[in-house]
Amino acid sequence: MRFVERPEAAVLAAAKDMLRRGLVEGTAGNISARREDGNLVITPSSVDYADMTLDDLVVVDRDGGVLQAADGRSPSTEMKLHLACYAAFDDIGSVIHSHPVWATMFAIAHQSIPACIDEFAVYCGGEIRCTEYAASGTPEVGSNAVKALEGRAAALIANHGLVAVGPRPDKVLHVTALVERTAQIVWGARALGGPVPIPEEVNAGFAGIYGYLRTNPM
Ligand SMILES: [Zn+2]
């Protein structure tokens, strides 16, 4: 089971960075990390990232039971998505759910984001698939996401946003930003006639590197 060193500090730093990079607005989205004891640290619902402190973070067990929360703080309503990811993938230490504009455009169109930039597959494992639709807050959001995440670092949540997984919050935030930037670039490339695919064997090689790094993160 992968876990994150100093998970509280790592989650808070990534939350501030996510806001600074414009990947979320206000209180939307959420970040979690797995602790050495298997419990999870997650950002609370309805607290602005700009004002968030370590005390605001919530600790839950692997079933979502609250173990530690300051007065008035509760785990995000989207916590079930995080729980499903940790239950399915033992080799991840962090999950980030966000609503970045360009990636969400693809999520609304139910279109995958192709791995058409060199080395994209090194960081993401291949094209970023879109899940089947499930209403927010239902367990199916999690189970659908797990299917779309197989062998990948991220998946589009249909008609909603993005989820990304990896060893640590800073790495998962990097994937989130990379997917968002690629969605914007692909959209632009389509206006120019559409992206030219990278040869399959090249992307397969990149995906192999992703698979290696996933089990041996740096
Ligand atoms: Zn959401």
Could you tell me the pLDDT band of residue 77, with boundaries at 50, 70 and 90?
confident
What residues are neighbours of ligand 1 (ion), with CB under 5 Å? 161
User: Quick check: pTM over 0.85?
Assistant: yes
Average pLDDT, the chain: 95
* Rounded Cα distance, 32 and 136, in Å: 18
Ligand 1 centre to CA of 125 (Å) is 23
CA angle 83, 131, 166 (to 5 degrees): 45
Ligand 1 centre to CA of 131 (Å) is 14
Which residue shows structure tokens 């670039």? 185
List the structure tokens of 107.
Answer: 């999520």
Does the pLDDT value for residue 29 go beyond 90?
A: no
What is the pLDDT, as a whole number, of residue 27?
77
Catalytic residue among 36, 78, 127, 180: 78
Give backbone dihedrals phi and psi of 30, rounded to 5 degrees, phi first.
Answer: -165, 155
Does the pLDDT value for residue 26 go beyond 80?
A: no
What is the pLDDT, as a whole number, of residue 188?
97
Ligand 1 centre to CA of 78 (Å) is 7
CATH homologous superfamily of 7-215 equals: Class II aldolase/adducin N-terminal domain (3.40.225.10)
Q: For the residues 4-23, what does the mean pLDDT come to?
A: 94
Ligand 1 centre to CA of 193 (Å) is 32
Is 127 marked active-site?
A: no
